[in-house]
Amino acid sequence: MNFSKQTQKNQPPTEKFYRSSALFMQLGLVLALLIVYLSLEYTSTKTVFVLDNVVHEEGTTYVFSAPPDIIIERNQEPREKLVPKKAPLIDINVVPDDTKTPEILELPDSNENPKKLNISDIVEIVEEGPILEEPIPFTILEEAPIFPGCENLKNEEAKACFTKQMTKFVNRTFDASIAEGLNLSGKQKIYAQFTIGKNGLVTDIQIRAPHKSLEKEALRVIEKLPEMTPGKQRKKAVPVKYTLPIIFQIE
């Protein structure tokens, strides 16, 4: 018995070291597993851009199938290290322009102070000049403008192709990161209205948005639209008015 106790007291230090290192290794593995579990449970902040259909309040809207929503994840890193993100798909609807109410002229009562009218008092003579053509709404046009890549299609197929190509163009060109740093949330609506002239070029661009930065970005995108085949009415090229609604859902 005394010999056994003496053997334990005289145990080599290397054996104690090996036992301690094994204990520390087990503790390290437990700590590593805990860190991995916590990292998997961590949820980062996400920004969701949702596409929405827009129906104009005063008129009929062509409704096309909306592309699937895209979720863009934001990493919790300093802004200078952020990698540029792809722009989300944006739903585009064709909206007719507003219908103007004709003015009603009030005629004087014939029973009160009747007097002889001179034709020169009610007719204004102006010099002869060119007749200005008003843009025709996209929805009532006989032959819609043709976006590059849709030349072999006709009628409704051509209109559907026009919207599809317009959607692709906006998705590629619009900078979705413009919404960062603007302190905006919820639905942000941008309305772009422009005219496709008789030469196929875009003119008369009008932008309405809740923030100047969004207006500037939408204007930049519309100005980059390619030359198109102009719309036709009775086989004659005419200017066509087009309304492009864009909606961001920022969470």
DSSP 1-28: -HHHHHHHHT--HHHHHHHHHHHHHHHH
Q: Which residues contact 140 (CB under 8 A, 6 or more apart)?
A: 96
- Do 171 and 87 form a contact (C-beta atoms < 8 A)? yes
Concatenated DSSP letters for 99-119? PPPPP-PPPPPTTSS--PPPH
* The predicted structure's pLDDT at residue 91: 47
Alpha-carbon gap, residue 231 to 195, rounded angstroms = 11
Pairing of strands 240-250, 186-196: antiparallel
10-residue stretch averages of pLDDT, the chain, 251 residues long: 50 63 81 82 50 42 36 42 52 45 43 45 36 58 88 87 89 82 81 92 93 90 94 89 81 66
- Do 202 and 195 form a contact (C-beta atoms < 8 A)? yes
CA angle 120, 123, 129 (to 5 degrees): 120
- Do 178 and 214 form a contact (C-beta atoms < 8 A)? yes
DSSP state of 127: -
Residues found in the chain: 251
CA angle 179, 85, 206 (to 5 degrees): 40
* The predicted structure's pLDDT at residue 67: 41
Alpha-carbon gap, residue 130 to 188, rounded angstroms = 42
Model-wide pTM > 0.85: no
DSSP state of 30: H
* The predicted structure's pLDDT at residue 27: 84
* The predicted structure's pLDDT at residue 102: 41
* The predicted structure's pLDDT at residue 170: 85
* Other C-beta atoms lying within 10 Å of the C-beta of residue 11: 10
- Do 93 and 54 form a contact (C-beta atoms < 8 A)? yes
Radius of gyration of the chain, Cα coordinates, nearest whole angstrom: 35
